[in-house]
Structure 1
Amino acid sequence: MIENRRWLDILTHAVLILGVAIVAFPVWVALVASTHPAGSFATGHMPLLPGGHGWDNYSTVLGSGMRGAGSEPLWRMLINSTIMAVLITAGKIAISLTSAYAIVWFRFPLRVVCFWLIFITLMLPVEVRILPTFKVVADFGLLNSWVGLTLPLIASATATFLFRQFFMTLPDELVEAARIDGAGPMKFFRDILLPLSRTNIAALSVILFIYGWVQYLWPTLVTTDPKFYTVVMGIKRMVAVAEADPQWNFVMAAVVLAMLPPVLVVIFMQRLFVKGLIETEK
């Protein structure tokens, strides 16, 4: 017999609503702050109701930018961040898929050792090897370039591990059936493995896009040309103005605009994202 505990339902919904409110409150504050003039923050009090300067703030940030603070127009930085995130996502997915495919489906000496060498790189993120990586990029003349921005961030041991684990769940009979039908290694990879990996690719793409979008340290080191500035760099430059108070209305407008692309990616990819995380049988 299942008991109907109404008080328990009320408690769980109250906890859920409280959690949503805690998460959403900073977003609401940023949204409200982006609709007020700069003078609204001179007293040190943050308004909690929308103002009437939202259109002016957003058009200024997107169009002309805060030239006095050394910031470029935000539309250019949004495009740069999008290009960087897409290149990193596509590169990580491509390399991880092919490396996991080679480790699982090909028989060659030391293939297990090769996998563990890839897996060990989880202990060496770019922040740990920042100096030698920067020196290599600088020696090859890749500063202020898309290759220098994205190539050191493309390799992903996590994605390789996840694809390997998924490929290991597929039966060997699948390969035998493909071989009987005359499918070679590339045809098997293209026509069988890629369609089966669709949900995994979608789930990882969301995570990797956000990973590329929020990068700050590496773009700051390898980029001195304003045409390669990313949106995270732009927000930091808006806040770190010299001999002046930050114009928080413009900063918050930039923050809200910077949140939109990752949010849209999560919304449009939500079904495949959840399916790729929870699906265990193909």
Structure 2
Amino acid sequence: MVERRSLWGTLLPHLVLMAGVAVVAFPVYLAVVGSTHESAVIANGQMPLYPGGEAIDTYYRTLVIGPSRSTREPVAGMLLNSFLMAMIIAVGKIAISILSAYAVVYFRFPLRMAAFWTIFVTLMLPVEVRIYPTYKIVADLGLLDSMAGLTLPLIASATATLLFRQFFMTVPDELVEASKIDGAGPFRFFKDTLLPLSRTNMAALFVILFIYGWNQYLWPLLITTRDDMQTIVIGIKKMIVTSDALTEWQIVMATAVLAMLPPVLVVIGMQKLFVRGLVETEK
């Protein structure tokens, strides 16, 4: 039976949706417009709502030269640091979590469930809670101002382990028996059967974990002291000068716009797999 809806019943949801999009998109539009004007135009509160003529010069300075104050490093280097950090965290979390979930579900060893619940309890201990001991260990190992120091303490994920475990428990036992009949060992069963079945789950987790790594603020702030190792989030904060010096707002706006692009591209590029990984009932 086809439901008949009135014109108002069809129009109202679209109006609400467009209003929500406008509320979310307007600050982004202001950042794009602000990056095309001079700093004085933004600072005096009279920035127009249409683009200016400084876009090419502003983005060139931002990416290649860097701001003259605060960070003094090109934003291209910050983008690379953030991208490497987010990729290592996302891939590392997925790799460790899927292996730990595979071990918990398909292997029988002493204290198996105790190990799983120990992993699960770490959900209550975010990096902010264990920040001092984590920093002390990283400092003692000489990993300050390094990519290993930025990523290794954040690479374990109890959430991803739980999600993979719940998915593996829905895999029919017949697949395990069929693999044994075919002479497949544990590694081959994992590689040829479980990994293909987990593709959408891994895609959904990758998007979430990439954005998680990209948006990290507290840990990179503590672990990095050199300008060439700072991430894009830290760079934006350092560009906003609180002293008498005038903040180069056009550089800040351009950096904010550039900082949004990689997560947006990841979401757009993996949209189909991301949605399937979240909504498929058997997952």
TM category (shorter chain) comes to over 0.9
Supply the distance in 1 between the matched residues of 2:242 and 2:43 (Cα, whole angstroms). Answer: 16
Q: Which residue of 1 aligns with 2:53?
A: 52
Supply the distance in 1 between the matched residues of 2:146 and 2:71 (Cα, whole angstroms). Answer: 21
Cα separation, partners in 2 of 1:241 and 1:63, compared to 1, 3 Å: farther
Supply the distance in 2 between the matched residues of 1:47 and 1:153 (Cα, whole angstroms). Answer: 42
Which segments of 5 or more consecutive residues in structure 1 lack a partner in the other structure? none
1:194-213 superposed matches below 5 A: 194-213=195-214
Supply the distance in 1 between the matched residues of 2:165 and 2:56 (Cα, whole angstroms). Answer: 49
Q: Which residue of 1 aligns with 2:227?
A: 226
Supply the distance in 2 between the matched residues of 1:33 and 1:216 (Cα, whole angstroms). Answer: 24
TM-score, with structure 2 as normaliser = 0.97
Q: Give the Å deviation of 1:241.
A: 5.0
Contact map agreement 2:204 2:273 (CA 8 A) in 1: yes
Q: Which residue of 2 aligns with 1:21?
A: 22
Q: Give the Å deviation of 1:67.
A: 2.9
Contact map agreement 2:85 2:214 (CA 8 A) in 1: yes
Aligned residues: 282
Q: 1:19-71: per-residue Cα shift (whole Å, max 9, x none)?
A: 11111111001011011011212322342111111111110111110132233
TM-score, with structure 1 as normaliser = 0.97
Opposite residue 55 of structure 2, the aligned amino acid is G
Which segments of 5 or more consecutive residues in structure 2 lack a partner in the other structure? none
What value does the CA root-mean-square deviation take over the aligned residues? 1.2
SS in 2 for 1:141: coil
Opposite residue 67 of structure 2, the aligned amino acid is M
Contact map agreement 1:61 1:73 (CA 8 A) in 2: yes
Supply the distance in 1 between the matched residues of 2:198 and 2:147 (Cα, whole angstroms). Answer: 28
Supply the distance in 2 between the matched residues of 1:106 and 1:209 (Cα, whole angstroms). Answer: 30
Q: Which residue of 2 aligns with 1:273?
A: 274
Q: Give the Å deviation of 1:115.
A: 1.1
Q: Which residue of 1 aligns with 2:216?
A: 215
Q: Which residue of 2 aligns with 1:75?
A: 76
Q: Which residue of 1 aligns with 2:237?
A: 236
SS in 1 for 2:118: helix
Supply the distance in 1 between the matched residues of 2:121 and 2:4 (Cα, whole angstroms). Answer: 50
